[in-house]
Amino acid sequence: MHIIGIDGGGTKTVGILTTETGERIARADAGPSNYHVVGEEKTREVLAEVITNLFDQAGLPLTSDTAFCLGMAGLGRAEDRGVIGRICDALGLGKNRVLTHDAHIALVGGIGKPEGIIIISGTGSIVYGINAQGEEARAGGWGYLLGDEGSGYDIALKGLQAVARAADGRAEPTALTALVLEKLGLDAPSELIRWVHAAGRDVIAQLAEIVFSAAETGDRCARQIVTVSADELACAAAVVMKRLRFMEQPHIVLSGGNLVHQQLFVEELRGLLAVPVMLPEHEPAYGAVLLAQQRII
């Protein structure tokens, strides 16, 4: 028997094929597969592409007893599991199947077991946890219109707002003004109005890197944005920890580009949590493998 673990994201899809014991055989990447982003037909095509690629690399046939786990945003909801379930049926993945959300596979891959807390800050943000009894809790993850505090989008937007406030004289000057204008090739802060309405959420979120850069060089406004964002994530983590009533201090893993690559952000968050944190042991797709493996043990 073999195991397929897939991380089906809104920007790319990653699949891993392993033996029954979790030994990696093949890895494949493809485009986005979240059907909310690309539609059902494209989701089916991308998943089929990844699975075919994995077995072609391994020189093996897909068999009916192959264990499978897919992690994708939204799969905590029954309606979405129904849609993806039909796609999996059409692909011949019907027996040993686990469909779950992306934070779940990221936690299991990050910690190496299905217990603990994960704090994610990428384009969006969420804190998710599972205790030893299998109880789950989450905080944040409401999307960029209602929340996602501490996310790349939120941090970038706060940076753009700081530039606007400084241009008006409603706030002190900030190094963010020159950095943002240079990055975007604009001549004046007023040109941000047109730019921000034309830019997509992912494009705006990329400007978080500028906020981190300014904070590291001592800009007070940027540093405050980083501190407030870390505080939002720490607050969400405290809520999840309280709800799950861990008997012992849980493992806390940090995930997402802003926490994996921005050391200042990590240090701010670590200081607020006052508990040990770790970076992921494995990528989310391997967390999907571990969850599928549990189904067949």
Condensed to tens digits (0 to 9), the pLDDT of residues 77-104 reads: 788 888 888 888 888 877 788 999 989 9
Is the pLDDT reported for residue 296 higher than 70?
A: no
**What SS3 state is found at 1?**
coil
How far apart are the C-alpha atoms of 144 and 142, rounded to whole Å?
7
Backbone angles phi, psi at 113, to 5 degrees: -155, 160
pLDDT-based confidence at residue 1 (cuts at 50, 70, 90): confident
Q: Domains of the chain (ranges plus CATH)?
A: 2-112+281-296 (3.30.420.40), 114-279 (3.30.420.40)
* The model's pTM: 0.87
Condensed to tens digits (0 to 9), the pLDDT of residues 15-60 reads: 999 998 889 999 999 988 888 888 888 989 999 999 999 999 988 8
Task: Give the pLDDT confidence score for residue 76 in this predicted structure.
Answer: 73
Task: Give the pLDDT confidence score for residue 181 in this predicted structure.
Answer: 97
Condensed to tens digits (0 to 9), the pLDDT of residues 133-173 reads: 999 999 998 888 898 999 999 999 999 999 999 999 999 99
Condensed to tens digits (0 to 9), the pLDDT of residues 117-130 reads: 999 998 889 999 99
| Mean pLDDT value across residues 238-259 | 92
Looking at residue 93, the DSSP 8-state letter turns out to be -
Is the pLDDT reported for residue 64 higher than 80?
A: no
Q: Which of 75, 76, 90 is nearest to 35 (CA)?
A: 75
How far apart are the C-alpha atoms of 194 and 197, rounded to whole Å?
5
pLDDT-based confidence at residue 238 (cuts at 50, 70, 90): very high
